[in-house]
A and B are shown apart, each in its own frame.
Chain A
Amino acid sequence: MSDTHAASTAFVRHDPLPPAPPPVTETGIVKWMRENLFATIPNAILTLLSLWAIYTVLSGVIPWITNGVWGAENIRECRELLAGATGGCFSVISERWNQLVFGIAYPREEYWRPTLAFVLLIVSVFPVLFPRAPRKMLILTIIYPFVAYWLIWGGTVLTPILLFAGAVVGYVVYSKLVASNFAAGFFGGLTAAAIAWWLAGFAIDAGSDVLALREVVSRDMGGFMLNMILGVVCVSLSLPIGIVLALGRQSDMFVIKWICIVFIEFIRGVPLITLLFVANVVLAYFLPPGSNFDLILRVIIMITMFASAYIAEVIRGGLAALPKGQYEAADSLGLDYPQAMRLIILPQALKISIPGIVNVAVGLFKDTVLVSIISMFDLVGMIRGPILASTDWNGVYWELWGFAALLFFVVCYSISQYSQWLERQLQTDHR
């Protein structure tokens, strides 16, 4: 016995074992399926059920898309072409493309202007979205609003130039005065800009045909272009206003604090649609008779107020999440309030707030379709009104609403992906 025992314990390996491949069931696709699809019997049943459900949906949708008709003139022709087979009448999209994108009244020969404005938009948001882009490109971003206004609404080139000049005058006055006192700089800058714009008004009236593009009135804006105008303008205005409101709500100054609280709580407590009706109808009663206050401008003001109240609350959450020590460290180094906010507090608070801000921005962009209720012909307004009501395309719901959904999804999903990328870029704490 002792011999065998000794033989089994004392052991020397002379030839090391070569590595062998794992059994088939433990690698690659087989292993993955065993673990993820067929781990247990109920799991396997659910997998089969899901596959069946996916198959049912796809077997309906795919022929609808692949059999789709793109060249028909109207719905009757489309139905004839299909001859009873499953298939979508996508020709409505190609036939009414211009209406879906630009609305019904925008002059056909001027379509290049909003298109160019859209291309420039992409170029000029680039340096804002990507911190590594050359800083000089920010000049594009600064002049873009004036150029886009000129391109879309038309009129004399003096309008954007003088508006821009007025803004520059305001900024110069602000930067001169702000050294001594922030309030003096702020209100001084505003006043200077207002005076400059008022003077510019005369110059624009005098030179109304200098390099003029054909004028297009706000009533004629429509289609997805209108959604883009409202979305882009309101998001970019509501972010700075939201920051100011959030800081104001935290202020030690009693009056400012309460103005901000009342504004935020009131606007947040009211449905957006009522604000839009106010913009459309009621606001006219408060304005001097005969004054013509642009409808899009009124809608922009209302949506911006609405969104900025939400963004203010999101940013307040970010501010509250910062440890008190950050404020104290900034103070103890001798930074004054604007410096501490700009350099220390807001970069961190905004970073925390990115998901919330994006949430509001995406929601806001989709809410721009509500203007169809106050009879503006945005994308949804166009579909509901002129297109579906026409005898040519009465009844092609799936194709049109699917197209509208797709447009919004592409934009909103891109915003969401961008924000996740940005969050990863800004992550400095656990690297």
Chain B
Amino acid sequence: MSDAAIVSDTSQMKVGNKVAIQITNMNKWFGQFHVLRDINLTVYEGERIVVCGPSGSGKSTLIRCINRLEEHQKGSIVVDGTELSSDLKNIDKIRSEVGMCFQHFNLFPHLTILENCTLAPIWVRKTPKREAEETAMHFLEKVKIPEQADKYPGQLSGGQQQRVAIARSLCMRPRIMLFDEPTSALDPEMIKEVLDTMIELAQEGMTMICVTHEMGFARQVANRVIFMDQGQIVEQNEPEPFFNNPQSDRTKLFLSQILGH
């Protein structure tokens, strides 16, 4: 799929030719159940990839394997030149380079917004507290909620919480961002504010992999769309041909169902 690494015409975002993530023949089982089958995927720096597919197709599991929230049993995953093995040092190194946003935000409810954002830089990166706070305020301004810095997550709306979660990841200055259905738990009104933040991030050239059902977002920012079903990558293409001219029958059926209404 190196063709996909060519800059798509929809934006001026640049895709480099350095490999950010290389997944080779990766397999994963939950007990007897074969969740991911022979996944091969190369992600270049600056690429924005949208992964879609019916529920249970393994999309979330795939991106959770990339920062080892799930362990794969066969094949290899190389992130930024470091191979994911059971070596804890490697895992912690990769996790500090790869940011992740969850469907349910997973903010730390006992810490303020600012503390949520400064915790990992202070403890993992050993950044001095002042500097970490300045960085945190910078990113909170970027996601447009600096005024909430001293509140607790429970006092914020869902959309605001998800934007804090994005800011919290960004404070670690990650090279890659993973999004696991970031808008699925949100009201329609709040989806837009989160997507706007993600679009802005994409325009700055962040390498992103998003599991999402927001096809508008996929059309606008993705330079590659991956369709998964039953633990396999069924089809991948640039957004325009993917939506306008899907090749496999399974993709056609899926697209007709989610775009049909």
Q: Are B104 and A325 in contact (CB under 8 A)?
A: yes
Considering only CB atoms, which chain A residue lies closest to B69 in the complex? A328
Q: Are A429 and B154 in contact (CB under 8 A)?
A: yes
Docked Cα-Cα span, A429 to B151, in Å, equals: 10
Docked Cα-Cα span, A429 to B102, in Å, equals: 19
Taking a contact as CB atoms closer than 8 A, the residue among A332, A426, A428, A431 that contacts B95 in the complex is A332
Considering only CB atoms, which chain B residue lies closest to A348 in the complex? B110
Contacts of B98 in A (CB 8 A): 332
Docked Cα-Cα span, A343 to B116, in Å, equals: 11
Known: A329-B107, A332-B67. A428 touches B152 (CB 8 A): yes
Q: Does B237 contact A (CB under 8 A)?
A: no
Docked Cα-Cα span, A105 to B59, in Å, equals: 74
Chain B: residues with Cβ within 8 Å of the partner, total of: 28
Q: Are A328 and B120 in contact (CB under 8 A)?
A: no
Contacts of A347 in B (CB 8 A): 110
Considering only CB atoms, which chain A residue lies closest to B64 in the complex? A328
Q: Does B109 contact A (CB under 8 A)?
A: yes
Contacts of B107 in A (CB 8 A): 329
Give the A-B contact count at a CB cut-off of 8 A.
69
Q: Are A335 and B120 in contact (CB under 8 A)?
A: yes
Docked Cα-Cα span, A274 to B108, in Å, equals: 44
Q: Does B258 contact A (CB under 8 A)?
A: no
Closest chain-A Cβ to B211's Cβ sits at a distance in Å of 14
Q: Are A348 and B109 in contact (CB under 8 A)?
A: yes
Taking a contact as CB atoms closer than 8 A, the residue among B99, B102, B124, B169 that contacts A328 in the complex is B102
Closest chain-A Cβ to B91's Cβ sits at a distance in Å of 9
Q: Are B95 and A331 in contact (CB under 8 A)?
A: yes
Chain A: residues with Cβ within 8 Å of the partner, total of: 22
Taking a contact as CB atoms closer than 8 A, the residue among A329, A336, A430 that contacts B108 in the complex is A329
Interface residues of B in 200-232 (CB under 8 A from A): none
Q: Are B155 and A334 in contact (CB under 8 A)?
A: no
Contact digits for A316-338, partner B, Cβ 8 Å, 1 yes 0 no: 00000001011011011111100
Q: Are B120 and A428 in contact (CB under 8 A)?
A: no
Q: Does A257 contact B (CB under 8 A)?
A: no
Known: A329-B108, A351-B110. A430 touches B154 (CB 8 A): yes
Q: Are B155 and A333 in contact (CB under 8 A)?
A: no
Taking a contact as CB atoms closer than 8 A, the residue among A328, A333, A335, A428 that contacts B109 in the complex is A428
Docked Cα-Cα span, A347 to B107, in Å, equals: 14
Contacts of A332 in B (CB 8 A): 67, 69, 95, 98-100, 169
Contact digits for B74-116, partner A, Cβ 8 Å, 1 yes 0 no: 0000000000000010001101101110101011111000000
Q: Does B163 contact A (CB under 8 A)?
A: no
Contacts of A426 in B (CB 8 A): 110
Considering only CB atoms, which chain A residue lies closest to B165 in the complex? A329
Contacts of B154 in A (CB 8 A): 428-431
Closest chain-B Cβ to A21's Cβ sits at a distance in Å of 40
Q: Does A339 contact B (CB under 8 A)?
A: yes
Closest chain-A Cβ to B129's Cβ sits at a distance in Å of 14
Q: Does B48 contact A (CB under 8 A)?
A: no
Chain A residues engaging chain B, CB cutoff 8 angstroms: 323, 325-326, 328-329, 331-336, 339, 343-344, 347-348, 351, 426, 428-431
CB<8 Å pairs between A and B, sample of 12: A323-B106, A326-B108, A328-B106, A329-B108, A331-B69, A331-B95, A333-B95, A334-B96, A334-B124, A339-B124, A348-B108, A429-B109
Chain B residues engaging chain A, CB cutoff 8 angstroms: 67-69, 88, 92-93, 95-96, 98-100, 102, 104, 106-110, 119-120, 123-124, 152, 154-155, 168-169, 172
- The 4 lowest CB-CB distance pairs between A and B, nearest first, are A334-B96, A329-B106, A325-B106, A333-B120
